[in-house]
Each structure stands twice: as structure tokens, then as C-alpha cells.
Amino acid sequence: MSELYKVSSNPHIRSKVTTSSIMLAVIIALLPAAGFGIYNFGPRAFVLIVVCIVSAVLTEFLFGLYRKKTTVFDLSAVVTGLLLAMNLPVKLPLWMGALGSVFAILVVKMLFGGLGQNFMNPALAGRCFLLISFPTYMTDFGSAGTSFAGKVWDAYSGATPLAQIKAGESVNALDMVWGRTAGTIGETSVIALMIGACFLILMEVIDLKIPGSYIVSFLLFVGIFGGHGFDPAYLTAQLAGGGLILGAFFMATDYVTRPITPRGQYLYGIFLGIMTGIFRIFGPGAEGVSYAIILGNLIVPLIERVTKPVPFGKGGKAHGRQ
Amino acid sequence: MARLTFAGGIHPYDGKELSKDKPIQEVFPKGELVYPLSQHIGAPAVAIVAKGDRVLVGQKIAESAGFVSAPVYASVSGTVKTIEPRRVVTGDMIQSIVIENDGLYEETEFQPIAPVEKLSAEEIVDIVREAGIVGMGGAGFPTHVKLSPKEPDKIEYVIANCAECEPYLTSDYRRMLEEPEKLIGGLKILLKVFPNARGILAVEDNKPDCVSLLKQLTKAESKITVKALKTKYPQGAERQLIYAATGRQINSSMLPADAGCVVNNVDTIVSVYRAVVEGRPLMERIVTVTGDAISNPRNFRVRIGTSYAELVDAAGGFATPPEKIICGGPMMGFGMFDLNVPTTKTASALLALTKDDVSAMEPGPCINCGKCVEVCPGRVIPSRLADYAEHFDEEAFLKNHGMECCECGCCSFICPAKRPLTQEIKSMRKIQLAKRKKG
């Protein structure tokens, strides 16, 4: 026996997709919407995004020093920081953004065991934490200085379209699709978000099971209970307004906090659609996506329990002979 | 109804272009050949030669030791050097007969066989058993046992597994192109065993030349159809193949016969043909020697017992130093630490890779992405089963259908966190199967 070769259990080949390549794809997919947010709301949006990302990564890095295990290179902290920033209004004091990131990474993610162990989406939990702690700042969608969009700036600040609808005012659905409205940094432009979502679908990072069932059930719910029937303008405004698109494609699809079973994913999407509808129509605020997803996260174990897949060849009418 | 595919599965780089156009070449071994007495599932064979005996090509050197067992034949002429435990591909030491090849290839007289038409089903099964034929796709289950289900009349399909879904392997492909009449002849013999059955040649559609050739040759055969299945790994896994070819599903505790099917691999069926028509027992098989570390990837006609080291020499040696050597395909083959082990009845390939993916990638935590669930042909949740296995939670493992895993390796392949899912599940399955056996 002159030389020994490496041995391992089968299979001996691995796909090229890794955890960090998936995270990188998500970051790339978020860039159009983040870029539009910066264009729409001005340089302060950029600063807030950077603050959130840096504090998220730094928190994970410092925690890693304490646990003697570096995990920042999987890029998941970057995704969390970026997602959190996209869910914040541009005027929010920077230290609040940083605090949200620290909460998301330290409390929601690392203390529960790090990547893959958290039961709530860290970015959304961070947002909800800020929303409860600093409600005035978190719902102030006013201007924060000069916007790159120039003179039409005023139209983009002030009340969000969903708040306007709730108050009985009319909104311009086309502006909402483009994103020329008030709102959080990354949620306003449906077009920019959809470019990113299509990229993720093409890269096979996400599929339409959750976003599809979420959006369809939400539209059915607001169509039936929203008091405007299936009025296309109203439905478009509901669809394009608030964080629905951002939530459905980028946060409800978060691997760690959604059901792993295929049938469970449909059920989860429907649950989110109904909860979002309830919060938006019957709740005190105009928004509902964040709370719906956080609630959805909590019932994931139950959903998985009732939607276990049937193993090949067990049960069903295709069993054995036909 | 045939589905021609199944849910789940993966599309790895298939590497077949390295060796697919290389015609089958015969390899003449030098020195000693090693015949492990256990090259099949079941009782090890019993040696019937002694040290110093002279043996001829085709002479039986070990006798079958029960119903689920198979005899072993010499593939060269020479002298029995010793009978002792030798290392085999899996790393185990197995009692083996070692024959010093005299290079003369003197053959015993092969028994002339009555015309196939006159043989009864029992006679065919007897010939297959006597010839030492086992499942040559990799499992090594004695073929005569497969051919003896409780109710042979209820078998409706005899499926020839021509999928060859493992990446890099081209031995079945060459066999189909070069000796299709033997494959079809063998299938016709098997159909004689099962009077109510129809034959299906199930080929993956990445081999269109085989599909059209087999279709053309079976035009006049009313009982045989050629089915082009979608190319996807593991299309050739028994349960997935049956589903794709017939639309019938069986689970891990059922046999193909429960769905009215009998499945055999290409090389196995050709061996049946040679045993019945030519009277030659199982002494050789086709082995693909390939991989980016091999100078000249080839398909070899190998005398069983030849050392893998000789096959590498016959393929021009290594072009680059390999990091990993695999017996079989990259998805289900065994990693080998040493080349000086013998080929056996189930050796389909030798794959030498310059780079080892497994040791190059550090496993990370599960991110619950669900890709393993998407690709699992057994429709279980591999990531969770691996967790249960890791924590030795037997109850949860069994309750969540851990035994339905077919160990195809799709989950480990696809996992972005590079977790060794298949390995974890496989270890737990082994423990559970051993417990079952004990009763």
C-alpha cells in the first residue's frame, strides 16, 4: 500500500450552490429596490442602509469572537441588515436603525443558536421591535433632505398610499407601481422589487409557492372584506402598497422561518394572506405584512406537522397496482 | 400508465462524454486474480478448489451456499495460489480464492445448451443460478431469486434497466450499442420465465442512439417495448424506474414483484443470454474506467477478479494525481483508499477525480432551504431525518419514514450547507436494519 486516497461516504460530488452563494443572490436581488429607495429618498437612505448592515455584521462578528466561531462570511448578517433597512422610514435616527440590527442579530438570531436556529425572521423581528419601541419615528414618512428624484420630492413624503386609502382618499396606482410614493426605503417600487424577485426565481433560490398563495389569498380577502369589491384600482393599490411585495417575495420566503414541507408552504402563504388582510382592513394601522409574517413564523411547526409529505409508494391511489 | 419520470431528482454534471465513444476493449490481466467468495447479497460461496489446484477458464471454483447465494467461476486459467482473506473495495477483508494467471486462457468445455425454445421456466432459472449471475448494477442480489417470485404468473412486466443514470458511467451504453441483440435475446429468455409478462427496455433519453437502435431491433417483437425515460438522477433506482415505466409505486418494504414487475440491469440480462445460449457462466463484465485524473478513459471487458490497478494501467495510468478514487459512480459508489483490490461481479466503474468535492467543502448549519425535500425521490424530509439520526432519536427517525430512504445521495449533493445528509441517514438505516434482522 504505497499511497492512500481520500475516502468518504457517497455521494462524492456536490452542487456548486452554497449557503453564501444563496445569500449573495438575495443581496443582489435586493439591490434594485434598495437603489430605487436611495434615488427616491435621498442620500440619507444610503447612510441608513450602511449603518444597519454594518451594525448587523459587527454584532455577529463580536458574538462570533465570544463563541470563537466566525460565521459572518455566510453573508446572512448582511441580508438581515439590508432587509431591516429597507423596512425603515428614511428619517429614522441612525442609532435606532443600529439598535434594530443589534436586536435582530443578537436576540433573535444568535441567542437562539445562530443561522438556521431562529424561529422568527430577524429583520422583521427587528422592525417590529422598533415599531413597538419608537412608534412615532417608525411611522413618520416625512422628508429627510434632498432627494435624487428632485423637485417632485414632496409627493413622496407624508402619508403612505395605504394610509390614504384607509382615510378614504384616492391614490395614483401607477405611481405606486413605479414607487413614486411615501413609505419605507425599500418597499415602494413594485417594479424594482419584481426585478429582484424574478432574479431569485430564475436562480432557483425561491419559488412561487409562498408568494403566489400569499398574494392570491390576500387579494381574495380584501376583495371580499375590503368594502370596495373587486375594483381593479383598489386591488392594485392594496397589492402595490405597503410592504406586501417586499414581504411576500423576500421575507415570507426566508428559508429558516417558513415551513419546509411543500404543502405547508401553500398553507403558510394562505395564512399570511388572510392575516395581512385582517390587519390592513380591521386593524388600527394601515400596514399588516410584518405582523402577519411574524405570526406566521410562530405557527410554522404546527403547519409542518399537518403537512408532512407522503413517502413514495405509501398510501394514495397510486399505491401498488393501479 | 407510464410517467417516464418521477418527482424529485437532480441533474449533476454527467461526465459521460469522457468515455461514451470508446468501444469496449478486452483487458488481459497479468499475475494474480482475486475472487472474493462474497460478491453478492446472501450467504458467501464455499470454495471447492484447494491450494495448488490447476483451474481453467469457466471452471467453478466456489459453490453456492444456499438459495440466496451464488457460485463463483474462474475467469483465467492457472493455479490456485492461496485461499485467504483479502481486502475488497468496501475496505472489508473477505475470504477469497487467489489464482495465479498462467496467461494461456485455457477454457473448460462449455456445456452445449438445448435450443432456448425448448427450455422450461424452471430450466432457465436453474441455468441462471448455476451460472452465478447476480444483479450487476451494483446491488448483487442473486438473479435466480428475482426470477423465482411466489407467483410468476402475476408478473406483468420484465423491465430491463438501461437507464444508467449515474454520472460518468458508460458501460451499459456501450453494451447496448455493441451487443444489442444479446440484451434483447436475454430479455426474451426472461420473458419465457414469466408467460404473462411484457418486456420493457427502459432507457434514459440522453442516449437517443440506443433508443432508436433498440426500437429498430424490437420492431418485430410484439411483447417488447422501448421506453425513453427523462434523463434525471436517480432514474435507474428500482422504485423510480418502475414508476416511470409503469406508473406503479412501491415502498421500501415491498418487492418489485408486488407491483407485478421484475427489474434487471443491462449487464445482468446479457449475462443471462450468455449463460443460456452460449453456456458460459458469469466470468466477465464491462467496467468504465474514467474521471478527469485518468489519461485515456475507456470501457473495458474485464475478467472478474482483475485488480483495479491493472485497469488504471490499461487506461494509460493517471494524467494527474487523483485525490479521490471511486468504485462505481460518483453518487452511489464507494470511495477506495487503495487500488490493489479485485473487480467483482458488481463493479461497474472506476472513477478517478482530481478534486474531491466532499473534503473541499466544510459542512455548515442547515438553513432549512428545503432543497433536499425538493430533490428527494423517496418524498421524505432528509434534513430532519439527518437531525434525528445525528441525535440518535430512533423513534422520530422511524415515525418520519426514515426507512423509505433509498440512499441515492440527492440530498447530500444538493445541500447548500454541504451537510452529509445521506451519510447520517444511511448510518441510522443500517442500525435499524440490523435490529430488524435480530428480531
**In Å, how far is B36's CA from the nearest CA of chain A?**
19
**Interface residue A288 vs chain B (CB under 8 A):** no
Comparing CB atoms, the residue among B323, B357, B401 nearest residue A13 is B357
The pLDDT score that the predictor gives to residue A158 is: 64
> The cell 421456466 sits on which residue?
B121
Measured between CB atoms, does B358 come within 8 Å of chain A? yes
What letter represents residue A322's amino acid? Q
Beginning with the edge strand found earlier in the chain, give each strand of the sheet holding B60-63 in spatial order.
B46-47, B60-63, B72-73
Cell of B184: 434483447
Q: Is A1 on the interface with B (CB under 8 A)?
A: yes
What span, in angstroms and rounded, lies between the C-alpha atoms of A277 and A291?
Answer: 11
pLDDT score for B31: 87
Interface of B with A in 12-51 (CB under 8 A): 12-13
- CB-based contact (8 Å) between B363 and chain A? no
User: Inter-axis angle of helices A94-102 and A122-133, to 10 degrees?
Assistant: 130
Chain B residues in contact with A314 by the CB 8 A cut-off are: 251, 401, 404
Residue with cell 422592525: A127
**CB contact at 8 A, A139 and A128:** no
Q: What is the mean pLDDT of residues B380-396?
A: 95
CA distance A297 to A291: 10
Q: Could you say which residues of chain A have pLDDT below 70? A: 1-3, 143-158, 315-322
CA distance A141 to A45: 12
CA distances from A250 to A203, A243, A298, B22 (A): 14, 10, 18, 49
Is B9 touching A (CB cutoff 8 A)? no
Domains delineated in chain B? 112-278 (3.40.50.11540), 371-438 (no CATH)
Residue A203 CA to residue A201 CA, distance in Å, equals 5
B127 or A139: which leads in pLDDT: B127
Contacting residues of B for A1, CB less than 8 Å apart: 338, 340
Contact assignment for A262 to B373 by CB distance below 8 Å: yes
Residue B385 in this model has a pLDDT that exceeds 60: yes
Tell me, yes or no, if B409 comes closer than 8 A to chain A by beta carbon. Answer: yes
Mean pLDDT of B420-426: 96
Distance between A72 CA and the closest CA of chain B, angstroms: 12
Note whether A167 contacts B: Cβ–Cβ < 8 A: no
User: How far is it, in rounded angstroms, from Cα B168 to Cα A13?
Assistant: 12
pLDDT at B206: 93
Q: Which residues of A touch B340 (CB under 8 A)?
A: 1
- pLDDT at residue number A1: 43
Model-level pTM?
Answer: 0.91
pLDDT of residue A148: 61
**What confidence tens digit (pLDDT) does each residue in B51-86 have?**
999 999 999 999 999 999 999 999 999 999 999 999
Res A157: pLDDT: 56
Residues of B in contact with A116 (CB under 8 A): 365-368, 417
Mean pLDDT of chain B: 93
Q: Which three cell numbers stand for residue A153?
A: 420630492
Give alpha helix (H) positions in chain A: 19-41, 43-67, 76-86, 94-102, 122-133, 135-138, 161-166, 173-178, 190-202, 209-225, 232-240, 244-246, 262-282, 289-298, 300-306
Inspect the interface and report whether the beta carbons of B361 and A18 lie closer than 8 Å.
yes
For the cut 60, the answer to whether the pLDDT of residue B134 exceeds it is yes
- Say if the Cβ atoms of A114 and B332 lie within 8 Å: no
Residue B362, chain A, CB below 8 Å: the answer is no
Q: Do B381 and A261 touch (CB under 8 A)?
A: yes
CA-nearest residue of chain B to A6?
Answer: B324
Contacts of A308 in chain B (CB under 8 A): 381, 400
Q: Among A15, A21, A318, whose Cβ lies nearest the Cβ of B249?
A: A318
Cα of A4 to nearest chain B Cα, Å: 5
Q: Do A260 and B381 touch (CB under 8 A)?
A: yes
Question: Is B324 part of the contact surface with chain A (CB cutoff 8 Å)?
Answer: yes
**Mean pLDDT, residues B328-344:** 92
Query: What are the pLDDT digits (tens) for B13-38?
Result: 999 999 999 999 999 998 899 999 99
Rounded to the nearest angstrom, the minimum Cα separation between B114 and chain A is 37
Q: Does B247 touch chain A (CB under 8 A)?
A: yes
CB contact under 8 A, B251 and A1: no
Q: Give chain B positions within 8 Å (CB) of A6.
A: 323-324, 335, 337, 356, 358-359
User: What's the complex ipTM?
Assistant: 0.89
Rounded to a whole number, what is the distance in Å from the CA of B420 to chain A's nearest CA? 8
| Nearest residue in chain B measured CA to CA from A113 | B365
Judge whether B83 and B72 are in contact, CB under 8 Å: no
pLDDT tens, residue by residue, B203-236: 999 999 999 999 999 999 999 999 999 999 999 9
- Best of B5, B367, B390, B413 to substitute, by most chain A Cβ atoms within 10 angstroms, is B367
A156 CB neighbour count, 10 Å cutoff: 21
Res B355 pLDDT > 70:
yes
Q: Which helix (H) or strand (E) holds B187?
A: helix B180-193
**Cβ–Cβ contact A264 with B under 8 A:** no
Q: What is the pLDDT of residue A301?
A: 95
What is the predicted pLDDT for the residue at A146?
58
Cβ-defined contact of B333 to A12 (cutoff 8 Å): yes
For residue B424, the model assigns a pLDDT of 96
Kindly list the structural domains of chain A, giving each domain's residue range(s) and its CATH number in brackets, ordered by start: 19-144+161-306 (1.10.3430)
Q: Between chains, do B249 and A320 touch, taking CB under 8 Å as contact?
A: yes
Cell 440480462 found at: B269
Q: Is the CB of A310 less than 8 angstroms away from the CB of B400?
A: no
3-class state of residue B264 by DSSP: strand
pLDDT value at residue B4: 87
- Across the strands, what pairs with B47? B62
Residue B156 to residue B401: CA distance in whole angstroms: 29
- The nearest alpha carbon in chain B to A114 belongs to B365
Compute how many other C-beta atoms are within 10 angstroms of the C-beta atom of residue A305: 11
CA–CA separation, A243 and A123 (whole Å): 13
Chain B residue with CA closest to A4: the answer is B337
